[in-house]
Structure 1
Amino acid sequence: MEDPDKSNINGGNTCGKFREEYRKHVQNQVSRDLADTLNMLNHHKGELAKLQDQLQQARLQVIQSAGETEENINSTFKSLLINVNRMITERHHQLLDEVKQVEVEALGPLDECGQLLSDRLKDCTNRLEQGNRLQQSTGTKAKESVIRFQEETSQLNRLPDVPELCAVPCVSVEFPSEPTLEESLQNLIQGAGKVSRIGPVQITHINERPGALLVAWEEVDEDVGDDSIEFCLQCSNTGAMNPETAKFHTVYKGPDFSFLLRNLQAGERYLLRAALRREGSSSWSTWSLPQYAQTSIPHYKWAKVDGWSVADDGRLATKSSADSDILLSHGPLLGPGSSVLFKVLGSGDSCSDEGIGLSCRPVKGTEQLLLPGVLFLNAQGSLVEESISKILKSHILASVKGLSFPSKQST
């Protein structure tokens, strides 16, 4: 029979052990919960720090852009004041010079006519004095003098030509009255410049493509409707980091809202920006916020095989033998939602087993070009898809500049 005291001791030990294990369990659980909470708080703190940095960048963008815009406004109007004052002064003196020229040209003949009249008047006065003296003379000698005087004065009956007032200049100047110069300048100056919270077009999506970037943009103000609108997309030099010093070059101009920027190096950073201009305008709008982008997907390139020479980092392939060799891409590069563009730079007389195409598996020989899973367009214009052939156009590869094969996600 078991000793009751010993049984009580064992029972107490067991309960104590359970309590200790429970205490440790609770303590461990509390420690884990506390650790999870601390991890969550640390993560939350990190996210808050990121948001704080983002907020600081936003504030910096507002402050810097406002400062740069103020500087632009100040420099523009300072230059405008100088140039307008110069142009007004030049025009002022030009008009005065024109008035002086008309005055001089008109007064020349009038001054000549005035001199002639003065001479005639002086001559006439002298004749009158001479005639008055003759009236006091008598005798035969006086008669001869009168006859001679009459003959000389008979030539004075012809008067010089003096122009009528309507035939001489009456100088004036005409300035616009409706609107006046001041009103025109006021309207022009009041319409000069437009402060925008953000550029009228912004890059909205940049999707990676093999060796390319699909860039899309939108107008910020959707209420401004204009069918005649042109967009401009510019790209920086490879590895550009500072939008202020980056050297941009135009990669697209046109009405589309997206553009596939090709021939990019995988892993390299590019800086993109967009602008627009409406019909009738010769200048582009404010540029969009610059966007950094890169593609991590290598470009389409050919594999190095016998019978073919490959150049331009795998983009260009040239047949180097007369053997029937199949040139494959470097790997399965075409994925859903992307496309590949083949450009045929030159071709000769071709056979039915020569052409370009797509295959979901490596092709070992020309006989496999007719198998399911292969899309093949031969040089003679036959398209083979899923073992079904149809004629598109004779010698199509020699007559087109490029063939694009798009792909989409199957449903």
Structure 2
Amino acid sequence: MEEAEVERLIVEARESMEAAANYQRELQHRLKGLSQARTQIKESAAQTRETLRQHFQDMRNGVTKMLEERLAVLLQQVEAIELQNIKPLDDCQKVLEHGISTAQDLLREGAVAVSGKPGTDHQTLCNFTNKALHIQLDSLPEVPSLIEVPCLSAQLDDSLLSVARDQISSHGTVASRPPVQIEELTERPGGILVKWCKVDDDFVVQDYRLQYRRHNSGHFEDAYVGHECEFIVLQIDPNVDYQFRVCARGDGRQEWSPWSVPQMGHTCLIPHEWSPGLEGYSLSSRRNIALRNDSPCQSVLYSKSATYFPGQTLTFRVETTGQPDKRDSIGVCVEKDNGCDSMQRDKAVCISPGGAVFVNGKEMTNQLPPVSPGSTITFDMALVSLGPSNNNEGPHHKRRVTISSGTREVVFDWLLEQSCDALYFGCSFIHPSWKVLVF
């Protein structure tokens, strides 16, 4: 009995030790998270201080430069007015000074002529008198009065300081957190679905801006600018970490808000690719875009491999359209069949450009909107059940399929006679100019 009790106590002790170890790990994990939070506050505060100092230094330099430039313009205007109006006065001064000099000379000559000194005679007096008559001593130049000449002054509006004070006192704000944050990162084949949300109810959003980059590599690049709150970033390499951030622009404003806290994401799903080498279709460098060219083709263009798994969303975006044909189709299938010219066949579900939905080659009653340039078609599948069939033909594998296009969707159960982990996707177009992007 004692041995059993000891064994029980040992088991309980080990369980307590394991619980303590788990508790310790969880506390250490939370301590690490707390340290990261503290670091975020400290680093963002330091960066904000530097941003504020640099901004106001730039503002100070800019205002100083503008004031100096305006002062220089006004001083130039003063100099121009001064020079323009001083010149006539200078000319008048020269005339007056010349007249004074002439009068002084005449006075000296007259004094000599009337002095009665030896050597003066009648002829001298006559010459002096004639000279005085020719000088026109009764003609005086006009001298402008003080009210007729400029009196420069500066008109300065002190209200500028009041306006500047009002503007400066409300210039700039400090926010404890950005008005928008990334909410969810979902891996997609060759891409990542980024969802974000507004966390400041008082912030009226005009546009969102999403950027991404490889982790700690290079600069952020714009991925999306618009009104939506989610976007699929394509051309993401599998098993590589990427950073994402988002900001917003307020209604009626030009500047963007502060960036959200960067979030890390990656995808382990290989990108969807069209199969190369089929005459009649030209592929992009990443093989995710197929263009129906002018070459004849009587076969379906399939995916390179079966990369569509249940639980995922497969999306086709029709970039351009051509002349439609009743055999045209876009969809998924269990296996490749190079002998068919359409996806409207057994073991396949598809949609035609007209919006008709085909399941195992049979057209459904429900339809989707016709395809047009820019149309997006999505396939969502989920395994529903695995059980015996009613006619003893073996087990049937059922999938709940949702095909969406525009604002409408069609939901149905697709029965397969064999298990299938992943599906191929494909498209077929009889006429050229159709271009389809898959992701």
Give the shorter-chain TM-score range: 0.7 to 0.9
Decide which moves more: 23-32 or 87-96. 87-96
Is 2:133 the partner of 1:151? yes
Match of 1:3 in 2: none
Report the Cα distance in structure 2 between the residues aligned to 1:405 and 1:346, rounded to whole angstroms.
Answer: 14
Is 2:15 the partner of 1:33? no
8 Å contact 1:307–1:325 — kept in the other structure?
no
1:214 aligned residue (193, 197, 208): 193
Decide which moves more: 188-197 or 52-61. 188-197
Is 2:355 the partner of 1:376? no
* Matching residue's letter, 1:358: G
Match of 1:327 in 2: 301
8 Å contact 1:334–1:340 — kept in the other structure?
no
2:41 aligned residue (62, 81, 88): 62
8 Å contact 1:212–1:295 — kept in the other structure?
yes
Match of 1:272 in 2: 244
Is 2:263 the partner of 1:291? yes
* Matching residue's letter, 1:234: Q
* Matching residue's letter, 1:302: W
8 Å contact 2:331–2:343 — kept in the other structure?
no
What's the TM-score once normalised by structure 1's chain length?
A: 0.74
Cα pair distance change 1:94/1:267, threshold 3 Å: same
Report the Cα distance in structure 1 between the residues aligned to 2:47 and 2:194, rounded to whole angstroms.
Answer: 27
Report the Cα distance in structure 2 between the residues aligned to 1:405 and 1:86, rounded to whole angstroms.
Answer: 57
* Matching residue's letter, 1:269: D
Q: Deviation of residue 233 (structure 1)?
A: 1.2
Decide which moves more: 286-295 or 360-369. 360-369
Report the Cα distance in structure 1 between the residues aligned to 2:248 and 2:278, rounded to whole angstroms.
Answer: 49
Q: Deviation of residue 72 (structure 1)?
A: 3.3
Report the Cα distance in structure 2 between the residues aligned to 1:122 and 1:305, rounded to whole angstroms.
Answer: 109
- The secondary structure found in structure 2 opposite 1:223 is coil
Match of 2:207 in 1: 230
Q: Deviation of residue 216 (structure 1)?
A: 2.1
Q: Deviation of residue 219 (structure 1)?
A: 3.0
Deviations 1:54-106 (A, max 9, x none): 00111111122222333333444455555555554555455444433432332
Deviations 1:28-53 (A, max 9, x none): 22222222222111111101000000
8 Å contact 1:305–1:327 — kept in the other structure?
no
Q: Deviation of residue 268 (structure 1)?
A: 1.8
Decide which moves more: 117-126 or 313-322. 313-322
Report the Cα distance in structure 2 between the residues aligned to 1:130 and 1:37, rounded to whole angstroms.
Answer: 135
Match of 1:72 in 2: 51
Report the Cα distance in structure 2 between the residues aligned to 1:336 and 1:252, rounded to whole angstroms.
Answer: 26
* Matching residue's letter, 2:14: A
* Matching residue's letter, 1:259: F
Q: Deviation of residue 311 (structure 1)?
A: 6.2
Q: Deviation of residue 223 (structure 1)?
A: 1.5
Report the Cα distance in structure 1 between the residues aligned to 2:123 and 2:364, rounded to whole angstroms.
Answer: 140
Cα pair distance change 1:203/1:158, threshold 3 Å: farther
Deviations 1:151-185 (A, max 9, x none): 325x34333233344443221122222x243x344
Is 2:352 the partner of 1:352? no
Match of 1:161 in 2: 142
Is 2:3 the partner of 1:24? yes
Cα pair distance change 1:213/1:112, threshold 3 Å: same
2:177 aligned residue (155, 174, 198): 198
Report the Cα distance in structure 2 between the residues aligned to 1:43 and 1:217, rounded to whole angstroms.
Answer: 33
8 Å contact 2:313–2:380 — kept in the other structure?
yes
* Matching residue's letter, 1:260: I
- The secondary structure found in structure 2 opposite 1:26 is helix
* Matching residue's letter, 1:46: R
Report the Cα distance in structure 2 between the residues aligned to 1:149 and 1:302, rounded to whole angstroms.
Answer: 115
Match of 1:114 in 2: 93
Report the Cα distance in structure 1 between the residues aligned to 2:29 and 2:224, rounded to whole angstroms.
Answer: 35
Match of 1:8 in 2: none
* Matching residue's letter, 1:374: V
Q: Which runs of 5+ in 2 are unaligned?
A: 382-399, 401-410, 412-439
1:338 aligned residue (313, 318, 322): 313
8 Å contact 1:328–1:362 — kept in the other structure?
no
- The secondary structure found in structure 2 opposite 1:287 is coil
8 Å contact 2:181–2:197 — kept in the other structure?
yes
Select the structure that is richer in helix.
1
Report the Cα distance in structure 2 between the residues aligned to 1:162 and 1:345, rounded to whole angstroms.
Answer: 86
**Which structure has the larger Rg over C-alpha atoms?**
1
8 Å contact 2:332–2:350 — kept in the other structure?
yes
Q: Deviation of residue 384 (structure 1)?
A: 4.1
Report the Cα distance in structure 2 between the residues aligned to 1:43 and 1:149, rounded to whole angstroms.
Answer: 127
Is 2:148 the partner of 1:174? no
Q: Deviation of residue 327 (structure 1)?
A: 2.6
8 Å contact 2:244–2:262 — kept in the other structure?
yes
Identical counterparts, % of pairs: 23
What's the TM-score once normalised by structure 2's chain length?
A: 0.70
> How many residue pairs end up in the alignment?
371
Report the Cα distance in structure 1 between the residues aligned to 2:17 and 2:165, rounded to whole angstroms.
Answer: 65
Cα pair distance change 1:351/1:74, threshold 3 Å: closer
Q: Deviation of residue 408 (structure 1)?
A: 5.3
Report the Cα distance in structure 1 between the residues aligned to 2:311 and 2:145, rounded to whole angstroms.
Answer: 92
- The secondary structure found in structure 2 opposite 1:275 is strand
* Matching residue's letter, 2:249: R
Which structure ranks higher in relative contact order (CA pairs < 8 Å, sequence separation ≥ 6)?
2
Q: Deviation of residue 204 (structure 1)?
A: 1.9
Cα pair distance change 1:169/1:218, threshold 3 Å: farther
Please give the root-mean-square deviation of Cα atoms over the aligned residues, in Å. Answer: 3.9
Match of 1:48 in 2: 27
